[in-house]
């Protein structure tokens, strides 16, 4: 019994030491705005820049996202909650059946998992925002189902 307890303590100590060593070995990440690498997003009129993690594979991630001015995503939902901080422009958000909210720079939005909504960028200027989540990014189109419900 003592040997098992000692082994458990030894393994725990080793794991903690390894984690601390990794944290100490990390360097600062510094990306001036002109060094950020923007890629085409999964929807036309969008771009993204990976900050940490991999948003298309899952796990915790953070990305910067740009929407063209006037880019609106029709009724949809996401499997995982999205946490969003608006950096520039005016981001719009409207839950299914709810009122539209316009969010300017410095605003925060948490889009709940599975909650249907319409979101995008108001006309006039592109929108940039920081988005993070604990799970893989997806955008599940609910607009066709909503249109058929109205028939």
Token pair recorded at residue 146: 């909503």
137, 62 Cβ separation under 8 angstroms: no
- Is the residue at 100 inside a domain? yes
3-state secondary structure 48-114: EEEEEEECCCEEEEEEEEEECCCCEEEEEECCCCEEEEEEECCEEEEECCCCEEEECCCCEEEECCC
Structural domain count of the chain: 1
The predicted model scores a pTM of: 0.78
- Is the residue at 47 inside a domain? yes
- Is the residue at 14 inside a domain? no
How far is Cα 92 from Cα 120, in angstroms, rounded to an integer? 5
Residue 67: domain span: 35-149
pLDDT in tens, 65-83: 999 999 999 999 999 999 9
- Is the residue at 30 inside a domain? no
Residue 151 has pLDDT above 90, yes or no: no
CATH number at residue 112: 2.60.120.10
pLDDT of residue 58: 85
- Residue 124 is classified by DSSP as T
How far is Cα 92 from Cα 103, in angstroms, rounded to an integer? 6
């Amino acid at each position: 019994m003592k040997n098992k307890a000692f082994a458990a303590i030894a393994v725990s100590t080793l794991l903690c030491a390894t984690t601390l060593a990794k944290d100490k070995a990390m360097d600062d990440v510094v990306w001036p705005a002109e060094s950020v690498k923007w890629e085409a997003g999964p929807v036309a009129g969008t771009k993204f820049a990976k900050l940490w993690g991999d948003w298309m594979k899952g796990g915790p991630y953070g990305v910067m996202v740009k929407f063209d001015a006037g880019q609106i995503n029709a009724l949809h939902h996401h499997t995982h909650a999205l946490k969003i901080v608006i950096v520039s422009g005016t981001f719009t958000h409207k839950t299914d059946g709810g009122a539209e909210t316009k969010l300017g720079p410095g605003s925060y939005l948490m889009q709940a998992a599975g909650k249907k909504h319409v979101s995008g960028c108001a006309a006039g200027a592109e929108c940039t925002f920081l988005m993070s989540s604990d799970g893989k990014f997806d955008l599940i189109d609910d607009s066709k189902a909503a249109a058929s419900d109205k028939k």
